[in-house]
A and B are shown apart, each in its own frame.
Chain A
Amino acid sequence: MATVTAPAPRTVPGLLKRPAVRKLAVLALLTAVLAPLAEARWGGGAWPHALTVDVTAPLTRVSDWIIDNRDSHPLFLYVLGHLSNAVIVCVRAVYLFLFAAGWAGVTALAAAVAWCVAGARLAAGTAVALLACGALGMWVPTMQTLALMVVAVLASVAVGALLGLAAGLSDRMDRALRPVLDTMQILPAFAYLLPVVLVFGIGVPAAVLATVVYAAPPMARLTALGLRGADPEVLEAVESLGATARQRLLTARIPLARKELLLGLNQAIMMALSMAVIASVIGAGGLGDRVYQALASVDVGAALAAGIPIVLLAVVLDRVTGAAGDRIGQQREGGRLWLRPAAALAAVVVVALAARLAGGPDWPTGWTVSIAEPVNRAVDWMTGHLYSGVPYIGGTADWAGHFTTWVLDPVRSALLWLPWWSVLLIVAAPAWLIGTWRTALTATGAMAVIGVLGVWQPSLDTLSQVLAAVAVTLVLGLAAGIAAARSDRFARVLRPVLDVFQTMPQFVYLIPVVALFGVGRAPAVAAAVVYALPAVVRITAQGLRQVDPAALESARSLGATSGQQLRQVQLPLARPALLLAVNQGVVLVLAVVIIGGLVGSGALGYQVVYGLAQGDLATGLIAGVAIVCLGLMLDRVTQPTARRATKGA
C-alpha cells in the first residue's frame, strides 16, 4: 500500500506564525500611535466631515456638458458617433441575417456548429434549446438578444485578445494592465451602466458597449495567462529553427494557448449573457427587456418565460464551448477534416430553404406554449402559504423580520459604531495577514476613498448586508458542497439546479423574493444568497473531490471515521478551494446586494438605481465608485494567493 502521508500539517502554521505576529504587532503599534491623534483631530464615529471632498457640483457640470454637446461637439460627431453607428450596423446585420435564416435555419445552423465542434449529443441539445425558446413564444426577443450577444462577444473577444496579447508579450504592459483587469473583474455590472448611458443614450449601442466593458477582462486575463504559460522548451525549439518573433507567436505561442483562449471565449460569453439582462435597464431590448417589462406588472410567469431562454442559451453556449475546449489536443480522426463542416453546412441550407418554402421565417404562431399562468399560480400558492402563519416555524415574513432585527441591524449598528480609523485597521489586518503590504494598502485605500467621497454610512450599510449574506451563503454552501462531494447521486441532482440558478437573470427572482420576505434588506440578502450559492457549492465540492485520494486512503487505513476524514483530511487539504469559495461568494453577493436596491435594500444599491432612474450622474457615479471600492476591499481581504483566472459567473 502506498504510504503517502498528508503533508505534515503542524509545521506549516509554525512557519507562518511568526511573520503574522510581526505584522499584527506593527499594526498594533501603528494604532497606538495614530489612533489617539486621529481621535483628537477628527473625532471617532463615522468618517469625519473635514476629510470629505464634495464632487457633486463638478459631476453635474460634466453631465450637463455632455447633454448639451452630444449633438454638436466633434468628439461625439467624429469619434463616439461612429462607434455607436458601427455597433448599430453590426447588430443590425447579424439580426437581419438571423431573421432571414428563419427559425428553422437558425436552429439548424446552431445545431450544425455544435455538431462540428462538440459532437452529436450537444448538437441535439442545442436544437432542442432553441426550439424551446420558440415554443415559449420568445423567438424574436431571443434573436434580438442573440444578435446583440454575437456582436458584443466578438467585440469583447477582439478587445480582450488584443489586451491579452499586449500583456502576454510585454512585461511592462502586464504590470500596468493587471490591476486594472483585476478590478474590472470584481465590478458589479450595475455600476457600469450610468456613465455609458450618459454618453451614448438609451439603446443598443450603450448596452453593447457596457457588455464589452464587462466581458472583455476575462478574455484578456486568460489570453495573457495562456501566452505566458507556453512551454519554454517548445518555444526554444521553435526559436532554434530560426523562426522570427511573429512566426513564433503565430505558430507556437498562440496554438499552445488555445485552451486558455477558448476558456476566455467561454467566460466572455457567460458574462455577456448575464449583462444582456441587466443592460435591459438601459434599453438593450430582447429577452432582458421582456423580463424587465414583466416585472413592472409583477408577472413572475412572464418573466420566467423570458428568463428560461436566457438560461437555455447560457447552458448550451457553456457546454458547447466547454466541450470544444476539451476536444482540443485530442487526436482528430485524420484525413478529410472538411467533410463534416461541409456536410453540416449543406444540411443547414437544405433545412433553411425547406422551412422557408413551407412557412415563413417567423416562428409559427400556433406553436407556442404559455407557461405564465401555471407559474403565477404556483408562485401565488407558495407566497400565500409560506408568507406567515406557518405552524411552529413561522412564515417567511417573520423570518425576514427576525433576520433584519437580530442580524442585519446589529451588524450595521456595530459597523457604524466603530470609529472610522478602526474600520481602516480592521480592513488592513486580514489583507496584510494573507497578502502583502501592498494588498493591505489597496484595501485600506479603497475604504478611505469611500470615506472621502462622503458615502461612508451607506457603504457600511451595504457592507453589513454583504457580510450577513456571505455568512448565510457560506453555511448553506459549505453544507451542500460537502454533501455533493460525498454523494455522487446528490451531485448529479444538484448540477442542473446550480446551472439554472447561476444563469437565471436575478430580475426573475426579485419579485418572488419580495412576496416571500417583504420589502427591505432581507429580500436583497435572500436574492444574493440564491445567486452566490451555486458558485460556492461548486467550488467547495470540486475542492473536496480533488483532495489527494492517497491521503484519504491512508486516513481510512488508520481507522478514521468518515466525519474525521472530512474534518481532519479533506477540509484542511481543500483549504485553497474553500478560500476561493469565500472570495467568489463575497464578490457575487456584492453584485446582487446592489441590484437589491430595486427591492428596498437601500444604501448604495438604492443610490445607483436612483442615479439611473433620475439620470443623476453625481449620485449614481459616486455610489458606483463606492461599490467598486467596496468590491476591491472585500476581494483583497479574502483573496490570499495569486488570483484565479476564472470567475464563477
Chain B
Amino acid sequence: MRTTRRRALIAGAAALCTLLTGCGAADMTKQTSPFAAVKGARTVTLSVQSWVGAQANVAVAQYLLEHELGYRVDTVQVDEVPAWDALSQGRVDAILEDWGHPDQEKRYVDDKKTIVRGGDLGVTGHIGWFVPTYLAKQHPDITDWRNLNSYASLFRTAESGGKGQLMDGSPSYVTNDKALVKNLGLNYQVVFAGSEAAQIAQIKQFAKEKKPFLTYWYAPQWLFEKVPMTEVKLPPYTEGCDADPVKVACSYPYTPLQKYLNARFAASGGDAAAFLKKFRWTTEDQNEVALMIADQKLTPAEAAKKWVEGHRSVWKEWLP
C-alpha cells in the first residue's frame, strides 16, 4: 500500500516536472524574462548600462520601437562585461553603446558567433583625465601632465594620504589609471569611487565649492554641461601603445562607439533588428536627451518623447 503510494507520488512529481519544463534538454541560454510581453506582443529586450548616455540611447530606441513599430520593449540594467554575456545568451537582444571590449569581442563575435556587430552608434567616445575649467583658468599649465606633480598638494584628500587624489569611477569602466600614475611617475593616488553615481555626486559637490579636483571622466557626458571640465593632456595615443596594461603610458584613444546584437535576434528580429542596425545619431543628440534625464529629472520616456517630437527628420531614416 505504502509503496504504491510512494510510487504514485514519484510518478506524479516526474509528470509535473515534465509538464513544467517540457521534455529533454532545457537550454537556459535561450530562456526569456518572465516579465516579458504579457500582452503577447512582439518584444525586444535592451541592455541599459549605468551611465546616462546609454540610458538616452535606449530611451529613444524604446520610444520609437514602441510607438512607431508596435513592439513591447523591456530594459535590463547590466554592467558592461556581464552585458556581453547576457547578450550572447539572448537575455538581452542588443547593446546600443559599447566602449570597446576586445576580449569579449573575440570570444563571442569571432569564436562563438553568438553576437554580431551592429555598426556605429554615430557617437565618438573619449576617456581622459579632467580638471574643472575654473581651476584650469587659475593655473593654465595644470592641463599638462608634466606639471601635475607640482600641483599634487592641491588635490590632496583624506583618502589619498599624502598624495594627490585622482578619482576613478565605476570598476566596470575601461581604465589604465593605476598603471598610468605609476609609469608617468606621478605623485598621485587613484581613489575608486566605486560607482559612477558616487563619482558624479562627489564632482558636483566639489564644483559647488569651487574646489580643485582631478578625475577620470569621459565624453560625451551630460555632466560637462553642469560642471565644465578641461582635459589634462597625457602623452599622445599611438596605435598599440595601450597593448600591455602594465606598461601603458599614453592617453586613451577616441573610440567610435559600437552597437552589438544577439546573433539570433539579428537574423530573425524583423523590423526591430533592422531598426536597431540603422539607429545612428550624434553626440549632440545624445547629450540633449541625457541632460533632460539627468539634470531636468525627466523620466527617460518623457525625455525620449520630447526629443522624438523635435527631430522627426533624424529618426525617419532609421525606420525600416
Contact = CB atoms under 8 A, between A and B. Distances in A.
B191 A600 contact: yes
A522 B77 CA distance: 28
A599 B193 contact: yes
B195 A599 contact: yes
B113 to A, nearest CB: 12
B94 to A, nearest CB: 14
B191 A519 contact: yes
A249 to B, nearest CB: 15
Contacts of B27: 71, 76-77, 81
Contacts of B205: 383, 387, 397, 514-515, 518
A598 interface: yes
A77 B28 CA distance: 7
B4 interface: no
B198 A203 contact: no
Given A67-B85, A202-B85, A598-B194, A405 B38 contact: no
A149 B171 CA distance: 30
B78 A283 contact: yes
B79 to A, nearest CB: 4
Contacts, number: 224
Given A78-B25, A201-B89, A405 B167 contact: no
B34 A92 contact: yes
Most chain A beta-carbon neighbours within 10 Å: one of B79, B159, B199: B159
Interface in A341-391: 372-373, 376, 383-384, 387-388
Contact of B52 (A280, A297, A521): A297
A404 B20 contact: no
A298 B80 contact: no
A615 B88 CA distance: 14
A89 B21 contact: yes
Interface in B198-225: 198-202, 204-205, 208-209
Interface in A587-607: 596-602, 605-606
Contacts of A280: 77
A510 B197 contact: yes
A613 B158 contact: no
Contact of B194 (A70, A293, A600): A600
B171 A296 contact: no
B193 A600 contact: yes
Most chain A beta-carbon neighbours within 10 Å: one of B55, B91, B171, B196: B171
A285 B34 CA distance: 10
Interface string A523-565: 1000000000000000000000000000000000000000000
B149 interface: no
A81 B26 contact: yes
Given A85-B31, A96-B38, A202 B297 contact: no
Given A144-B35, A283-B91, A518-B202, A78 B26 contact: yes
B299 to A, nearest CB: 8
Contacts of B198: 510-511, 514, 519, 523, 598-600
A401 B158 contact: yes
B172 interface: yes
Given A144-B35, A605-B194, A81 B157 contact: no
Contact of B171 (A510, A518, A609): A609
A401 B157 contact: yes
B38 A99 contact: yes
- Mostly, the A contact residues are helix
B86 interface: yes
A79 to B, nearest CB: 9
Contacts of A295: 195, 197
Contacts of B171: 606, 609-610, 613-614
B78 A615 contact: no
Contact of B78 (A202, A387, A511): A202
B82 A615 contact: yes
A615 B194 contact: no
A95 B209 contact: no
A613 B21 contact: no
A387 B209 contact: yes
Contacts of B268: none
B21 A296 contact: no
Interface string B10-37: 0000000100111011111111111100
Interface residues of A, number: 84
Nearest to A93: B34
A76 B158 CA distance: 48
B50 interface: yes
A200 interface: yes
B48 interface: yes
Contacts of A68: 112
B135 to A, nearest CB: 17
A298 B197 CA distance: 5
Interface in A602-649: 602, 605-606, 609-610, 612-615
Most chain B beta-carbon neighbours within 10 Å: one of A96, A400, A598: A598
B80 to A, nearest CB: 7
A86 B20 contact: yes
Interface in B154-207: 157-159, 167, 170-172, 191-202, 204-205
Most chain A beta-carbon neighbours within 10 Å: one of B80, B89, B192, B293: B192
A520 B201 CA distance: 12
B8 interface: no
Given A202-B82, A514-B198, A609-B171, A372 B29 contact: no
A9 B318 CA distance: 82
A438 interface: no
B193 A519 contact: yes
Given A280-B77, A298-B200, A203 B33 contact: yes
B9 interface: no
Contacts of A88: 31-34
Contacts of A388: 209
Contacts of A610: 171
Contact of B297 (A299, A521, A606, A613): A299
Contacts of B319: none
Interface string B62-91: 000000000000001111111101100101
A205 B35 contact: no
Contacts of B55: 293, 296-297
B99 interface: no
A601 B194 contact: yes
A601 B55 CA distance: 27
Contacts of A301: 297
B234 interface: no
B308 interface: no
Contacts of A296: 50-52, 55, 77, 196-197
B28 A201 contact: yes
The list of the 3 closest CB pairs from A to B, nearest first, reads: A613-B172, A81-B26, A404-B158
Given A88-B32, A522-B158, 13 more contacts: A67-B107, A71-B29, A81-B25, A88-B31, A88-B33, A88-B34, A204-B34, A297-B297, A302-B297, A514-B205, A519-B167, A520-B157, A612-B79
Interface of B: 17, 20-22, 24-35, 38, 48, 50-52, 55, 76-83, 85-86, 89, 91-92, 107, 112, 157-159, 167, 170-172, 191-202, 204-205, 208-209, 293-294, 297, 299
17 contacts: A77-B27, A84-B31, A92-B35, A147-B34, A200-B28, A201-B28, A203-B91, A204-B34, A296-B55, A397-B205, A404-B159, A405-B158, A514-B193, A518-B202, A519-B201, A599-B193, A613-B81
